[in-house]
Structure formats: C-alpha cells, structure tokens
Amino acid sequence: MTTGDLVNIHPTELKFPFELKKQSSCSLQISNKTSTQVVAFKVKTTNPRKYCVRPNTGVVLPGDSCNVTVTMQAQKEAPLDMQCKDKFLVQSVIVSDATTSKDVIAEMFNKEPGRVIEDFKLRVVYIPANPPSPVPEGSEEGNSPRTDFPASQFDDHVSRTLEETNEKSSEAWSMIHKLTEEKACAVQQSQKLRQELEMLRRESSKKQSGGGHSLVLMLLVGLLGCVIGYILNVRT
C-alpha cells in the first residue's frame, strides 16, 4: 500500500496476467484518509492507447474508497523477458464538498501556490496467465512420456490390459484345443467306418443275396460321405 496525507493507494504495482491476443484487467483502490475533506483523483498512464482506465477521474468522500479498473488491450507480441516500462500516475487533491465526479477537470491538478497535490507512481508488472507445470525430477525434456492421468492410474490401466489380453489368449487356446480334439475324434470315426465298409464290400462280393446287404451298403456309403464332408469342413 502507498500512503500519503490524503489517500491510500492499493496495490503499489499493477499486475496484469499476460496472454497474447487477450485482454487482461486489474483493480486499483483509492481510499480517502481524511475525516472531513472531499478528495478528487485522476489516473494517468504513459501509454494511454494501450490501457483503458474506468473511472480515470472521480471524487472520494471522507473515509470512503473508490475502485478503479485498469484494462490492458490485447497484445500481439510479448515484451522481452516479460518486462514492461509502462507507468501509471495517480494524483489527488482536496476539493470543495459540493464537487462531484462530473465536476473534476484537468485544471484541478495543476500545481499552484496554496494547492496541495499528491502524486503516486505505479509500475506495471506482467505475470504469466498459464504458468508451466514443473518438470518431474530425473526426467529430460522431450524424453518424458506424456499421460493424461497419474502414474498410479497408468500402472493400473496397463495391468488391466495385460490381464484382459491373457484371458482372451487363454480362451483362444482353449477353443483351438477343443477343435483339435474334435477333429481327431472325427478322423478316427471315419477310419473305423471305412474299415467296416471294406469288410461289407468283401462279404457282399462273396454273397449274392444282394437286396438286404446292398441297402445296408448304400446307407453306410452315404453316412461315410457325410462324415468325410464334416472332417473337411473342420480342417478348413
């Protein structure tokens, strides 16, 4: 806080969050220290095109205060080392009790004999709008992995992924083993049917009773064809 005989000024520095192509604002409070005098104030800057001050003039009643908003226009470039040379000047002077904010004019702050004017100079400070997060110890820039969640959650995610992969792999191997067993069983049955069919053919050639055995032979041939077709489908 900067203090004089007439007013207190807070803060002593105007701090603006700096971000390219975006406006930023800060507040200034002017407090009347006197108990009986009305004080008029005026706020000036070395770079009026860059800043907008509302209100830039006014009056403060005894024991009262006034808040001033200073807005910095959007900047296209960042200054070197984020240093700003802009300055603000707050002037205050005692005026008559009937004076209102509309009555404040520039001539009131001209230095004349018998007129006490207090001047307060304020400097401008830029602060980063989005300060960078600290780099973890032991990591090098450009080599550290970026994640959207903490390390503990990342480990849990990896563990769950490995478990799901192992489960799916186990299911796949189980299915392959089951199909292999079914295929082997079908092959054995096919070989057995072929042997029985060969035996029936031999018996049929020896006997010429024909009808009954021919019907059985046809049925077995049809059954064998179905089994062989199933086996071929399993192999493919």
Q: What is the mean pLDDT of the chain?
A: 81
Looking up tokens 């603000």 gives: 88
Q: Which of the pair, 9 or 154, is modelled with greater confidence?
A: 9
Q: What is the pLDDT of residues 6-21, one digit of tens each?
A: 999 999 999 999 999 9
pLDDT category of residue 226 using cuts at 50, 70 and 90: confident
Is 154 in a helix, a strand, or coil?
helix
- CA quadruple 99, 101, 102, 103: dihedral, nearest 10: 30
pLDDT category of residue 177 using cuts at 50, 70 and 90: confident
Average pLDDT over residues 25-32: 96
Instruction: Note whether residue 207 is domain-resident.
Output: no
Give the phi and the psi of residue 55 in degrees, each rounded to 5: -80, 150
CATH number of domain containing 14: 2.60.40.10
Q: Read off the tokens for 217.
A: 């032979």
Q: Which of the pair, 55 or 216, is modelled with greater confidence?
A: 55
Instruction: Note whether residue 60 is domain-resident.
Output: yes
Instruction: Note whether residue 194 is domain-resident.
Output: no
Average pLDDT over residues 123-128: 94
Q: Is the pLDDT of residue 173 over 60?
A: yes
pLDDT category of residue 147 using cuts at 50, 70 and 90: very low
Please, what's the largest Cα pairwise distance for the chain?
Answer: 151
Q: Is the pLDDT of residue 133 over 70?
A: no
> What is the rounded distance in angstroms from the CA atom of residue 86 to the CA atom of residue 197?
108
Task: Write the single-letter amino acid at 110.
Answer: N
**161-182 CB burial, b ≥16 within 10 A, e <16:** eeeeeeeeeeeeeeeeeeeeee
* pLDDT attached to residue 140: 47
Looking up tokens 């550290």 gives: 144
Instruction: Note whether residue 27 is domain-resident.
Output: yes
Instruction: Note whether residue 85 is domain-resident.
Output: yes
Domain that holds residue 91: 7-128
How many independent structural domains does the chain possess? 1
Instruction: Note whether residue 220 is domain-resident.
Output: no
The helix or strand, by DSSP H or E, that contains position 18, with its residue range, turns out to be strand 13-18
Average pLDDT over residues 66-78: 95
The helix or strand, by DSSP H or E, that contains position 198, with its residue range, turns out to be helix 151-206
* pLDDT attached to residue 201: 74
